[in-house]
Amino acid sequence: INSIRRKAMKNIFLFISMVVFFISCNISHAEEIAENNSLYRNIRDNTCIPLFTALKDGDVEAIKDCFSSKKCEKHKDLLDQGEDYSNFLKDFYRNADFLVTRITREKETTFVDIIIYFPNGIQSTRRWLLKEEKRKEGDKIWKVENEIIDPH
């Protein structure tokens, strides 16, 4: 029954991730941000790497810090499951590697393309739509607002 629960949680997580992103994006006119640009480094170092680490560690509180308030609200049921969801994330992302492949901007919209490499040889492409939000400390940080799984 535990394996059924894990499989159901995995399917729910993947389904919700695909459904939540209905924003049409025309990425072909977007400006690609160079890796040596401070915006690129800021997003990679302060959003992507902490989120990758939180997913691998099953650290739900850290995940909430990387998600926008809107995304946290959409995933409230999963994020509030406590130890079950934490353990699911640890198992799901165990030994996975994450790679930021591109960051682009179109007008006020910022996208991050990533690839997740799983140890069984499977890889998954994701596109995150980021939103700039104020932190509790008052400064701003980029947070994941929506996600497309395998956008290509």
Spacing of C-alpha 71 from chain mean position: 10
Higher-confidence position of 62 and 13: 62
Query: Of 18, 12, 124, 150, nearest to 78 (Cα)?
Result: 12
Say how far apart CA 145 and CA 9 lie, in whole Å.
21
* Joined tokens for residue 129: 């739509």
Q: Is 127 helix (H, G, I), strand (E, B) or coil?
A: strand
* CA–CA distance, 43 with 132 (Å, rounded to integer): 10
pLDDT of residue 14: 57
**Confidence grade of residue 27 (pLDDT, cut at 50, 70, 90):** very low
pLDDT recorded at residue 117? 97
Rg from Cα positions in the chain? 15
CA nearest to 100, candidates 54, 146, 32, 22: 32
pLDDT digits 0-9 by tens, 82-106? 889 999 999 999 999 999 999 999 8
The tokens for 133 are 């939000």
- Assign 82 to helix, strand or coil: coil
Task: Give the residue from 45, 13, 23 showing the smallest Cα distance to 127.
Answer: 23
Question: Is this prediction's pTM over 0.85?
Answer: no
